[in-house]
Amino acid sequence: MKISSLLFLLLTFLQAQQVEISADHFEADEKKMLSVLTGHVLLKKGADEVHAKKLTIFFDKKNRPTEYLAEGNINFIINTNNQSFEGRAQKLLYNPSTQKYEISGNAFIHEKKLNRKLYGETIMIDRISGKSTINGSKKRPVKFIFEVKEQ
C-alpha cells in the first residue's frame, strides 16, 4: 500500500474528522486488507482518545475502515451525543458503520456527567443512541456505583 493511500485511509477514520495516530511501529498488509500499529499507540479523533499497546485497522475492498481493534492495557475517552466516558480495558472493538464500541477484559467506564462508575466483563456503548450495556460473569458480576442525593 502506498504511503499516500495509507495516510488518506487513516485520516478518513469516522466521518471525515481528522484522526491522528502515533505508535512505535507501523505495518500494512494489502492482501489481508489491514494495518497494524504497535507500541505506545495513541489514536485521537476530535475529543476521543484511545491509548493501547496494539491497534489493528481492518479495511474493505474500497479501502474504507470496517473495524478498529485496540488491545493491551487500553485507556480511553469516548464522547457520545449526551455522555462522556473515561475508562480502561484489555480490548476495545469499534465498528464505524454502526458507531458501536465493545469494551472487554476487566472493563471499567466512568460516565463523567452523572459521576457513574461501571465495571464488567463486557461493556457496549452505542454512540448514536447513547445506550450502554454491561455484562458480567459469575466470578465478576456487574458493579454499578453512583451517587444518590436524598432530600
Could you report the per-residue pLDDT of 86-109, keeping only the tens digit for each?
999 999 999 989 989 999 999 999
Question: What total number of domains does the chain contain?
Answer: 1
- In terms of residue numbers, what domain contains 31? 3-145
Strand 84-95 and strand 100-111: the pairing is antiparallel
| Burial degree of 114 (CB within 10 A; 0-12, 13-18, 19+) | exposed
Using DSSP's 3-state secondary structure scheme, residue 143 falls into: strand
Asked if the structure places residue 23 within a domain, the reply is yes
pLDDT greater than 70 at residue 45: yes
Asked if the structure places residue 151 within a domain, the reply is no
End-to-end, the C-alpha distance of the chain in Å comes to 62
pLDDT greater than 70 at residue 134: yes
Q: What is the mean pLDDT of residues 7-27?
A: 68
Asked if the structure places residue 150 within a domain, the reply is no
Asked if the structure places residue 27 within a domain, the reply is yes
